[in-house]
Amino acid sequence: MYMPPDTRLKLDPRDEYTHPPEAVGNYNESMYFNAFDSARRIGAWVRVGNRPNEGHAEMTCCVYLPDGRVGFMFARPSITGNERMSAAGMTFEVIEPFKRHRVTYEGDLLVMDDPLAMADPSTAFKRYPKRPASIALDFEGVSPMHGGEIVDMQGRPIELDPEHAVYRGHTEQNMAVNGHITVDGVKHDLVGGTGYRDKSWGPRHWHSFFWYKWLPVTFSRDFGILLSIKGRPEGGPNRISGNVLRDGVYEPVIDGRIETEYDEAWIPKGLTAWVTTERKTYVMKGRIVTTVPLRHRKVGARDFKTYTRITESMSEYTCEGHTVLGMTEYCDLMNDGVPISERQADAVQ
């Protein structure tokens, strides 16, 4: 994660729980989990984001079914506080800080045989049927925690510009997963699965992200790769961060790059990532299996000529003799249908 000058990270188990909201309109506290069973070819990611000062939460549930269909649901229920991470049928429980969490969901999913239909969510929700779903997943941390709250060198909170900030604190962790996902009466067990989680809190506007590429991949209990590359609207070198998990120890990432193959609509099809630590450079290849495109329009914008797009892709990754399902998440400011990250790359070449 990016660290401003003269700051450090403070990691506190109390940050696994919710915080008193800051006195800014766009305060956000969110948790995200993903889970995959590579043998059964099923995956999912879920998110709850509380925006108590705006009076609502955000709940997203996305299930990648083995036959290529996707179950998806988004809701923005009203909330009056920030006491727990529970919204629209989705509940996140901290069983043991830094170690064990539980995710449950009871509600409907929009079941789509063409997940790219979510590029136009209004049409997709009219076109596809909603089906009942039930999720119960137990997550176990298999790595140290990555991240924390960004504080000054004396341990005090730093000043943030709420219009441009994306978090005050941010934590991530490689996970093992067991449980089940049931969609429209069909139960899918996840046994010995792999996953990832993150949490953030503080001021956030989605349009404050210029672009980023986020590859959180857990290959096993002993091996995982996180690579995050963020573009800078002011120009200059990209911000590169992450780590490689080897036998319970993190190797910090000191350099990284990603080359992506896209289709004609700028949907990713495959990628190669070079992830460098002091120990070595790891080469990780990804084949996109299924993508769900999501979009966020800046408040007050009249059209979608310029908007933020996030592609959420279940992908098959290979590295160091391991093959596993994982996530590829790309967030881009889109201009006339082209990702700003690719416009920047073309300008540099």
> pLDDT digits over 147-179, tens only?
999 999 999 988 887 777 778 899 999 999 999
Which helix (H) or strand (E) covers residue 166, if one does? none
Same domain? For 193 and 238 the reply is no
Q: What is the DSSP string of 179-235?
A: EEEEETTEEEEEEEEEEEEEEEEEE--GGG--EEEEEEEE-SSSEEEEEEEE--TT-
Q: Single out the residue of 34, 32, 33, 86 nearest to residue 57, CA to CA.
A: 86
Closest CA to 148 of 101, 202, 219, 226: 202
Residues 187 and 212 in one domain: no
Between these two residues, 163 and 332, which has the higher pLDDT value?
332
- Residue 54 to residue 77: CA distance in whole angstroms: 11
pLDDT of residue 225: 98
* 294 and 147 in a common domain: no
Q: Are 128 and 220 within one domain?
A: no
Last residue in a domain, options 180, 204, 228: 204
Average pLDDT over residues 247-256: 96
Q: Residues 346, 297: one domain?
A: yes
Residues 263 and 187 in one domain: no
User: What is the chain's mean pLDDT, rounded?
Assistant: 93
**Tally of domains within the chain:** 2
Residue written as tokens 């915080």?
19
Q: Is the pLDDT of residue 67 over 80?
A: yes
By mean pLDDT, which of 47-51, 225-229, 332-336 is the weakest? 332-336
Lowest mean per-residue pLDDT among 234-238, 247-251, 319-323: 234-238
Residues 189 and 88 placed together within one structural domain of the fold: yes
Predicted pLDDT of residue 337: 87
User: For residue 258, what pLDDT is reported?
Assistant: 98
- CA-to-CA separations, 314 to 136, 149, 168, in angstroms, rounded: 20, 29, 28
Q: Does the pLDDT at position 207 exceed 70?
A: no
Is 234 found in the same domain as 136? no
CATH for 18? 2.40.370.10
Residue-level pLDDT at 236: 87
Beta bridge partners of 151: 8, 157
Q: Which of 177, 204, 231 is the C-terminal boundary of a domain? A: 204
pLDDT at position 306: 72
- Please tell me whether residues 32 and 120 are part of one structural domain: yes
**Is the whole model's pTM more than 0.85, yes or no?**
yes
Choosing from 204, 237, 257, the residue where a domain stops is 204
Task: Kindly state whether residues 128 and 166 are assigned to the same domain.
Answer: yes
Q: Average pLDDT in the 288-313 region?
A: 79
User: Do 37 and 97 share a domain, yes or no?
Assistant: yes
Indicate whether 86 pLDDT > 80. Answer: yes
Range(s) of the domain holding residue 93? 1-204
Q: Hey, is 311 helix, strand or coil?
A: strand
- Residue range 247-269: average pLDDT? 97
pLDDT at 298: 58
pLDDT exceeds cutoff 60 at 299: no
Residue 5 pLDDT grade (very low, low, confident, very high; cuts 50, 70, 90): confident
Helix (H) or strand (E) holding 276: strand 268-276
The arithmetic mean of pLDDT across residues 320-329, rounded, is 98
